[in-house]
Structure 1
Amino acid sequence: AILTTDIAMTKVSNIKEAVEAGYTFCSERKVAESVIDLHNIDPSLVVPDPVELGGDGKPGFNCPKCNSRERVFENMRQAPNDTSLYCNAAFVTLGDLQVLHESREHCDKTVVGDVLALTNEGIPIYDGNNTSSSLLALFHRMENDGKMDMQMREARPDNNCPVQEGEGHALSIEQLTGIWMITFTLAAASLVAKLFQRWYTKRKTRTKMGTKVVALQCYDQWSNETDHDVFIKGKLYDPHSVKNEFHNIDETNRMIRESFGGT
């Protein structure tokens, strides 16, 4: 949950912030060279080609025995302890990541920021005859009709990684402490209010309009009714009747003593 679990979420949103944060990057050789030239990246920030696997030690993976396209993803760490082997982030083509996500691999990795570079892929067309003009017209018409985009969407790999819901930033120790303090304070205030309500209700039953009331008890210690009658002002007191009369405590005590023949 958000209160107790810290999720893996990057703190940067573009390549400039990543460089300023001191990130190291994994990349294939050809991709690394393009990004270094376009964004003026220090080559020392790119993990070198492993010499022990047949590489040349230059920035970017190009070794014949290390499967450089997979190594780019496998050597990513959230906090790498050896920046000569591992990296915080990577420069990859989007298609590689989509293919891996279709196989439910490297689901903990995602794309951050905008596209760093664009590559053009296609077939060469010789423009020295009428055939090339016809093909260009055909391709432009297909593009304008949206057929190319439709084919691209259909060919795009599906993301089969499990969906993680309810993600958010984990709260700090200070924030958690504040939440628990507020919770316990409200609980204590609720308990005090409940005790006060009980005391006030009990007091209210014994006091009305500033006049204290003493109930006449006609029962013994075993909750049995007594066998004598109580007369108040010459009238028989009926304990089963409901009366809403309130008397001053001195007047009530006097009536009780008189009913038993006291003074």
Structure 2
Amino acid sequence: MTFETIRIETDARGVARLTLALPQKHNALSARMIGELTEAAEQLSADRSVRVVILEGEGRSFCAGGDLGWMREQFDADRATRIAEATRLAMMFKGLNEISKPMIGRLHGNAFGGGVGLMSICDAAVASTDAKFGLTETRLGLIPATISPYVVARIGEGKARPLFMSARLFGAEEARALGLATTVVTADALDAAIEAEIEPYLAVAPEATGRAKRLARSLGAPITEKTIAATIEQLADCWESDEAREGVGAFFDKREPAWRR
């Protein structure tokens, strides 16, 4: 299968590298990338030769959030279209979260909004010391709706609340303290740290590993289609608010929103 925005390369050990491959756009999530990542999740789950998946980004950033063109389309769309697009994004996250293989995130550069969502669905996340993170949606008058079930599953409600509300940026060490990152290393040690994470999975039974992942998911709060639909309804309501019109409009106009002090 040929992709335009991502790559999948699998080595002889069964280690698949799922690479976000739009470096010129800091691997921002476009409509096409959302579709291709959804297909990739199905492909990787079904491929019995794959033992481990590495999720990474090409270029200077892991994933800078939503693509500007895609966001512009949502700004101009009606409610039904926004719900449909948000559902596509949410199903992408659900598919990646349910890949029946261990997934290790390789985090560098910026991971904002949806980038933090991608980080949250990884079973382990190795971050470079210079990486920056943030759930920046409230700067635009929006909320981190589609990624919220996965972020809360990862770090818990108490830690998620101030991040959801403040939109502040934070570094790799704080990401580790929060539970988003599992390991933090210098940039030149990133690949060695990824290899150290891979190694144990090559010594365990692949089917049992997938079953163990499903077991762990089943013991947490279930992320059902009903849960996903409820978060999307909240996002749709938010898009229709005066704050969203002001915040997103100010972003595209390259000016400060009215509430900025």
Q: TM-score range by the shorter chain?
A: under 0.3
Structure 1 or 2: more strand by fraction: 2
Structure 1 or 2: more helix by fraction: 2
| CA radius of gyration, larger in | 1
Q: TM-score, normalised by structure 1?
A: 0.21
Q: TM-score, normalised by structure 2?
A: 0.21
Q: Which has the higher contact order (CA 8 A, sep 6+)?
A: 2
